[in-house]
Each structure stands twice: as structure tokens, then as C-alpha cells.
Structure 1
Amino acid sequence: MMKKFLYILTISLFGVACNDDYLDLAPNGAMSEATFWKSEKDADLALTGCYRGWEGWSNILFFDGASDNGYEQYDYGAKKLGNGSLTPTDGTTTWTDGNSGKWFTYSRVRKYNDFLERIDQVEMDEAKKERYKAEVRFLRAYDYFNKVIHYGDMPLVTEVITDINEAALPRTPQDQVAKFVFDELDAIIAGGALPTQNVIEASGHVTKGAALALKARFKLYLGEYAAAQNAAAQVIEMPCFELYQNGYDKLFLPAAESDNKEAILSLQFVPDKYNNIASLTCLPNSQGGWAALQASWDLIQAYESTDGSPFNEDKPFENKDPRLAMTVLYPGAPYYGDFFDPFNGPDKSGDPINCPTRMPVRKYVEPYDDAWNQSGDFMIFRLAEMYLIFAECALYTGEDTDKALDYINLIRARNGVNMPPKENLTEAVVRNERRIELAFEGLRYFDIKRWDIGSEALGGQVLGTRLGTVDHTTGEVSWEGDRIVVEERHFNADRKYLLPIPQSEIDLNPNMTQNPGYN
């Protein structure tokens, strides 16, 4: 399979060239042209290097910990952003880091630019060469998309810089960077080199659907609703994609990878070669995990009852949208032949590894034999998101609103969910459906940003459940006391939802400026 090709052959051939000064743009000891870029095999290896580290699974999983969906207790990146305490000097340990797909670094951009400058000198099948170029142009566009949504203005670099003195660049306005991204996406979509395939057929490679999905997401984030709706529609109309019907919970586990036609583009893993530790980070202490990411009480309240009845404080997890039990491990939930009990035993708060909100994330989690060697893929784009983008945009364009409502109800009607259909397309319906369906997929913070609801969503207390006692015969919980206060958050509107430019970069680069609210 091509999946094996992407991750087993080699690590990035450009990894030895890393130089953390300035923008990681000037190579230091890069592989010589005299020994590389001579054959099709060299191009294959270089493409492997471009895919290596293009995104990080932890970015997807943990970013909701910076939102009202969750709480990230160990500060793997989201905690300080979520509670408002992130500073420019925290950059070496948080999302401003250059590891595993974090977005300030330019080491990936350098790889992509180097590939695109050198690939034409290789004698190989021309159609294959054009596809490789289109894939790497997508990866570069995806990287700049993330730079814009995380930092705003960022230097736009499209050529290899060989002199480190030339790497001290000023910030390019974000609208210019966005234009570059869309120009690149439009070119590779129209160019015909990328196939119309789902993840199974493409075996991990970028496709035309992925390029359109990125365009749809970015246009939505920028409030360009007609363009976003059009791009999402083109993905939806591709015959290679369909909603996964074998269980919402299974959709995020390795068992689905052989028949998941919902996935448009995935970050793929292979045991022993390119693995992740998502289950280890999410499982509670009783199963050897860290319970690093927790669901918030605010998220629990967003799940609807199956019969439309009001939220029941005494039985908050009963008769709920089935996606709740598939996303969150809550007190009294069936669990490894027992019922989950975060109040007593190894999962109670106060143990070295605990469950502060009493509700660890269950999505992506499966039992494991080797905690450090998991292989579950992480979807970057999937069809349900395109349905939701189309539906939200239809609210504002007024186009195809009936079709938009149908898409919402298709998501709610998938096997294993079977929630009652919505009768009207409203902003509240679309926003809540998006929150529930895409929980812990790394998108909530940016929805809060574009809806500008930070004052209500990112400020105040993060709450967990009440304390209680779990009946290990029935799973029934007897509740007592008030809700657990896990954290106090402070929302700073002056920061415009942006991350800080690392202070180390500002110290090195006299042309770099800081984002608002961090001075």
C-alpha cells in the first residue's frame, strides 16, 4: 500500500538541515545535489520527507482543550491558550513549538520549497511528477493556512533562502498569504494532476477532494460563504465519498480504515514506524493512561436528549444523543466490563494521574497492547464537515437551504446516531450540530474565533461533574454537592484569538513584530 510507502521508507531527508535561527529557512548541511535529485527513487524519498510531520495528531486532539469543549490538564499546548495565560516566552513548550506540525516553524516550508525547486531536474514519469508537485503545493498551502489562522500576518516565503541573513523577514499581511493559498489551491484543483479519490483509494496521498476541502474550510473561516459553499458542494458531489454507517465511535478507530469512505484526507500511522500515543494520553489511570484531555460540563449540556426533553441535572447522561457516549467517558458509563468510576479507586482526583472534570475524552480511544505504539489514523477533513460547511453557508447565502437541512439530518440519521431530524435550518441548529459532530477534532477554537463568542465561551469557570457514588451493579450515579470547578479562565479580547509570536523569534529577527495583547 502507498501508506507504507509514505512512512516506512525514510525520515525526512531534510531533517539534518534544520536551523532554528530566524525562520528555519536557511539550510545548514543539506544533502548535496551531486548525490541526490537524480532519479525517480530520489523524488519518492523526497516526497516521503515532505509528508513526514506535515501535521500532528496532538494538534487535532488537544486543541479543543483551549475551547469551551474541554480542559487539557498537563499543558501539552492548549491549557495556557485556553485560560488566557499564554505568553511569548511559553513558545518552546506550546503550540508555537516547531515539533509535530506546530505552526510557527518554517522548516516544513523550506522542505516544500526545496522539493518544488528541484523536482523538475529529475527524469521520471511526467504525470507522476505533476502529481507530486501538486501534492507538495497542497502541503505548503495547508501550512500557510495554519500560519494565518494561528498567528495572523506571517512571512510568505515561496523560494529556498540560502543565506540566513536574508531570513530575517517582516510579516506579510494575512490577506496576501490567504490569496497565495487560494491561488495555489485553485491551480492544483484545475490542473488535473490530483485524482478524485477517497483516503482508501489514495492510500494517504493528497487528492482533489482534499484541496477543495481546505478551500471550503478556509473560505468559511474568512466569512466568504458563497465560495465556501461552492467548494464544499464540489466535495459532496464526488462519488468517492459517503458518510460512514458502521458506527460513529468506530469512525475514529483503526478498524474503520479499510472501509471509511467518509475520510477526505487523513494523517496516517503505521505501528513500529510512524505511531501515535493518542489512546495513552486519553485513557484514565485505571487503564494505564494519562487522562490528559477532559470534556467540560458546558459541552455535555450541548448534547440534546433523544426525545427533545429538557436537560436533566439528576440524570445528565441518560437518553442523550448517542454521540455523547461515543465521545466522552462519563461517570457510570459501561467500561471494560464495569462502570466508569472517577470518584473512587485509581481514577479519582488526587491520584498522580486523575480525571479533573471526571469526564475523559473517549473519541479515538481503544484498548491497546503497547501504549506507545498506536496506529489509528486522524482525519484532517471528512465528509460530515463538508455537509456542515455547506449548511452554515446556506444560512447566509440563502442558496439551497432545503439541501442544507437535508445534510444536517443525514449526519443525525447515520447508523448508531439516529437522532430525530431537524425541521428548520437555523444558526443555533447549525452551530450546535457542528459542535457535537466535530468535538475534539481541533476546530472548536476557530469556530469561537470566527463567531467572536470568546467572551462567553472562553471566559469564566471550567466545570466538571458533581461528586458522587457509582453503583457498580447498575451504573447509576448518586450525585452530591456542587459542580467541580476545574479552572478559572480569562478571555483577553485584545489578542484577537491569535497566538503570540515566540519571543525568541523577535529577539533574533529585528523585523518581526508581536501580536496584539502580548506586549
Structure 2
Amino acid sequence: MKRNIVILVLGSCCLFNSCYELDLNPLSQGSSENWYSSETEIEMALKDGYRQDFWPKDKEEWTDDYVYRETNSAIVNGTLNGQTDEVTKMWSNQYKAIARANTVLANMEKAQSLGISQSKIDQYTAEAYFLRASMYSTLISHFGDVVYVTEVMDVDQAFEVGRTAKAEIIPKVYEDFDKAAAGLPLVYTGSTSQRATRGAALALKARFALYMGDWQVAAEASKACMELGQYKLHSKFSDLFLTTTRNAEESIFVLPRSISDKVTLGSGEVLNAITRNPGGWAAKDPSWDLLAAFTCTDGLPIDESPLFDSHDPFKNRDPRCCETIVPFGSKFLGFDYNPHPEALEVMNYNTGKMQKNNDTRANAQYASFNGLVWKKGIDETWLDNGKDVDPDKIIIRYADILLIYAEAKIELNQIDQSVLDAINMVRARAYGVDKVATDQYPAVKETEQSKLRKIVRLERRMEFAYEGLRYMDLVRWKLASKALNNKSYGLLYPASLLIENVTSKGGWFWPSTPKIDEDGIPDFTEMEKAGQIAVLSQRLWDDRQYLWPIPTKEILINENLKQNPGY
């Protein structure tokens, strides 16, 4: 704890070096007494703010879009506490970055004596405001009231600091984002760096306002971002997430990764996602809840559409379904993907021969427990470099801005054509057409608020699956209480039982169609009662988790820090 407090208070003593052209940062230390002696050192200090650790993404495993065999995360198990790794890391890392931003701001007067142009000083100041606002927005979204510090403090002062009500901090975060947007450039020229821009400041302000339920601020910030004219939807949804797609026109703010600099997704995450035939584990997979969520090509949910066939669940679905989850019988990573219990052999396209199928639990006990595996962003590059990859880490993209704008305007009940256009642009792109081609995709025409609210929430789920946004959506919509208190389902095991109870009776894949409630939550209990599916786990969300606990070690060392209720 003392180490963290010192980092917060004396951040000026812990500046970290970074590659000048890339924001991929090998660490080295410099003293604040002799730092900021050149423009290069100021840039190095700011670039440290783009380290991956400072930009956490909420995990799929905290949501109902995900299964990890028969295991739940601490959040889904309702056991989140002040010593949980994600809790302590987020608190510590955000405050490290805040300390660095505050230190940069405190040294801007020193920068003026170095002969740096005022325009550059304004830009650096704006960048520090952006970093500070972004870190506080993450803290407030998860912890609620937090310690709010905007200056470098001494140790004695730090031990007396308590939490500030988020209602007091939120306007100050908006103000920092506004200062950032006013001073940051639209684009950077002559540099490969991925750094904060005006669009990034407006976009992250819009997202933070959405999370806080400040609909007017969210609508205005997202509209301002749209009106910059800098961004548009990438032409092909599936290609946007590939490692080979860099700096797409849809990307508003991303962090680059690099195999050569050892900043990667991580081989463990890769192995957990890819299928077993090419050497993966297929352990962390999409849930049946997610598969059930995608609408059919008529725009209707699966329990209302005549196009849905529970025995062929990928047929006639929104194209994002088959781009997010690998369809059965499709070629994927050099093999046909088929989890059927009687598909004991499968085509290996690398050899042109049939081979043992390790993607069915009839052959491999630890193949996907529910038959589903991820496809989004995954291609053959995931099999290279020891099964490690370096796709851009997308923090926010233009599709999010369009749907933030639409949701905010819906909640304000200011529904006009611009709202429908924003949703339809995202949906039409999924179908590979322009939004005006309304005969080629299920265009949204509804204008009633409650119905549009349901539509935009579902659109977010289909568009952003496997991108780390579902968790905060469940939290802010207060749906975690429902979605994370039901059961996670999978295939019967052993394979002989699956054959006996399901496939021999023509019941593959799902024996019947689950009902979908008004919040998009599927009901599989009929199949469970019939003994046709297996319960993988019981989700056990605890409502106290709508706010995370303050890390235990912080509470123990500072009597002025009070814990959130229920912990």
C-alpha cells in the first residue's frame, strides 16, 4: 500500500522511458529533478500513459456472453472482494497513470523555459488532461466515489485523503475531456505513434457520460465526434478485428501491440480461444446465451422468427453471428469445425486428409463444453509465433459512437431520423450494404421509445461481443441481477449420453428453441428439465458488485478511506 501511495504522491519521481516512435514501452527510471529538460523527455513522459496496463478492458468472463467450462469468474460467482486481482490492479494502475499526468501538468511551466512552442505546450497539456480524465472515468465507473487528486502531494497529505463523491468528480472529468479536445490535434502527421486525438477525447467523454446516465452530455459529445468527419465504419465487419487490419478508419483510439516488442495478446488467451484440432484448448468460449441473442435476418428474435431452426442455429441469422462464433461445418483454421458427438473424423485442409476430430468431446474430453468457439478476430495468424498475436487493442471505435448517440437520444426521447440512421449504419454494415438499401437488411423503422431501447441494447450486444463492453452494459442497465443469476448450459457428457438423449432423436444442436424475454435473456429450462442439456455452472451475481470494493490494503492503511457497502 505504501508503495502505491508513494506512486500516487510522488509520481514525478517515477517517469518511464518509452520507444520514441511506438507506444510500446520498455521501462527505465529517471529523476524528476533532472527530467523535463527537453521536449523529447516530455513526450516520453506522456507516452508512458499509453502502456497497456493503464488501459484495462472489462473481461468477457464477467458476463453472460462467455463460458469457461464449468468455472465462473469471481464476479459471476458473486465473490468479488477487496483482494481480487482485477480490483487491486485497476486501482493501482489507474492511480499510477493519474500521478504521471498530474506530474506532467505540474511541469508545463518548466517546459516554457525550454523554448518549446506554445502550440506544442498546449498539445502536451491537453494530452495530460486526456490521460487523467480517462483514468478517472474507469475508476468511477467501477468503484463509484474515489480519491480525487489533481496535484502532486506529499506523503503526509496523501494519508489524509479520503474519497470524493462521484457526483463532484464527474463534472471535473468532463472538464478535463473538454480541455483535452480543445488542445489535441485531429490527427498526428509524420509519426507511427497512437496517441490521443480530439476525436478520442470526445469519444471517451461520450462513453463515460453514457455509463453515468448523463444522456444529454453523451448525445452532445458523440455528435461532436461524428461531426469531426474523421471516422467511418470499416467496410467489412469481420476484417476489422484481424491482426492484419491496422489503423482502420473506424478506429478512434487504439493501443498498438507488437510481436517484436513482446507486447502481445498473450499465448494463454490465444490457446484458450482457438480450436483443438490446430493445437488450441477451446476452453474459454461463447455462451449459449450469446448464440441465442443474435436476431434472424428478418430482424426478429429467434423465438419469434419463422426463419430460425434450432437444429441449424447459424442459418438465417444476423451475419455477425457467424462472424463472432464459428458455424458448424465451416472451414476454420485449416479444419472443418464440427463438435457433433458422432463426427469422429474431420477434414484437415492442410493435408487434404481426414483425421481424428479433437473438437468433439467424443474424442477429446476438454473440447468446448458447449460446442461453441470464438471466430471474431481469429484467423491463421493466431497459429504463428508460438500461437501468439499482436492485434491492435481497440479502446473505442466509431460503431460505438453511433450507438452511444442513438441510445442517449432514445433515453432523452428525442427520437428522429438521425437516431434511426445511426443504428442502421451499424446494422447495414454487418450485412455488407449501405443503410439506404433497406430491402437488403432488416432496417430499423421503429420510433417508440421502449421498443427502440430494446433494439439498441440488442444491437450493442451483437456488435460488440468479445470486445469487453458487455459487462458495463449489464451494470449500467442493472441487468446483471438477472443475466448473471441464471445457469450456464452446455452439451451432455459423455458423448454416449448426448447421442442417446439428443442426436439419435434428431435433437442436434438444440432440441428446441429457447424463449427470449424482454431483456434478451434466453430460457433453457425446458431442455434442462427434459434431460437434453447439461448445466455447466450456476451464476451467482451479488448486487453489491454494482460497485467494486476499494482494495483491502488501501482501507487498512488509510482510515479516511471508507469501503463500499456489502464488502
Query: TM-score scaled by structure 1?
Result: 0.84
Q: How does 1:165-180 map to 2 (within 5 A)?
A: 166-180=158-172
Contact 1:21 1:508 in 2 (8 A): no
Distance 1:450 1:508 in 2: 31
1:14 aligns with none
SS in 1 for 2:406: helix
2:419 aligns with 404
Query: TM-score scaled by structure 2?
Result: 0.77
Change (3 A) 1:139 1:73: farther
Of 248, 257, 271, which residue of structure 2 is paired with 1:269?
A: 257
Q: Which AA in structure 2 matches 1:112?
A: A
Distance 1:225 1:159 in 2: 30
Q: Which AA in structure 2 matches 1:365?
A: I
Q: How does 1:76-115 map to 2 (within 5 A)?
A: 79-89=73-83, 91=84, 93=85, 95-98=86-89, 105-115=94-104
Report which of the two structures shows the higher radius of gyration computed on alpha carbons: 2
Cα offsets for 1:384-407 (capped at 9, x unmatched): 111111111222323352111112
Distance 2:469 2:443 in 1: 24
Distance 1:290 1:24 in 2: 39
Contact 2:273 2:284 in 1 (8 A): yes
SS in 1 for 2:136: helix
Contact 2:66 2:287 in 1 (8 A): yes
SS in 2 for 1:20: helix
Q: How many residues align?
A: 480
2:52 aligns with 53
Q: Which runs of 5+ in 2 are unaligned?
A: 15-29, 345-356, 434-440, 500-506, 512-530
Distance 2:188 2:278 in 1: 34
Of 301, 309, 323, which residue of structure 1 is paired with 2:292?
A: 301
Distance 2:143 2:510 in 1: 43
Contact 1:329 1:361 in 2 (8 A): yes
Deviation at 1:377, TM superposition (A): 0.3
SS in 1 for 2:254: strand
Contact 1:327 1:362 in 2 (8 A): yes
Of 390, 394, 399, which residue of structure 1 is paired with 2:405?
A: 390
Q: Is 1:221 matched with 2:233? A: no
Deviation at 1:423, TM superposition (A): 2.0
1:362 aligns with 375
Moved more, 200-209 or 149-158: 200-209
Distance 1:197 1:452 in 2: 37
Moved more, 350-359 or 220-229: 350-359
2:17 aligns with none
SS in 2 for 1:320: coil
Percent identity of equivalent pairs: 30
Of 475, 482, 490, which residue of structure 2 is paired with 1:449?
A: 475
SS in 1 for 2:424: helix
2:18 aligns with none
- RMSD, aligned CA: 3.0
Deviation at 1:333, TM superposition (A): 3.7
Distance 1:119 1:288 in 2: 52
Deviation at 1:463, TM superposition (A): 2.0
SS in 1 for 2:297: coil
1:35 aligns with 34
1:12 aligns with none
Distance 2:462 2:142 in 1: 23
Q: Which runs of 5+ in 1 are unaligned?
A: 1-17, 470-475
SS in 2 for 1:128: helix
SS in 1 for 2:59: helix
Distance 2:162 2:143 in 1: 13
Distance 1:371 1:140 in 2: 36
Q: How does 1:80-479 map to 2 (within 5 A)?
A: 80-89=74-83, 91=84, 93=85, 95-98=86-89, 105-122=94-111, 123=114, 124-163=116-155, 166-189=158-181, 191=182, 193-197=183-187, 203-245=193-235, 247-258=236-247, 260-273=248-261, 274-277=263-266, 278-307=269-298, 308=300, 309-310=305-306, 311-342=308-339, 345-348=357-360, 354-367=367-380, 368=382, 369-371=384-386, 373-414=388-429, 416-417=431-432, 419-425=441-447, 426-464=452-490
SS in 1 for 2:148: coil
Contact 1:19 1:26 in 2 (8 A): no
Deviation at 1:254, TM superposition (A): 2.5
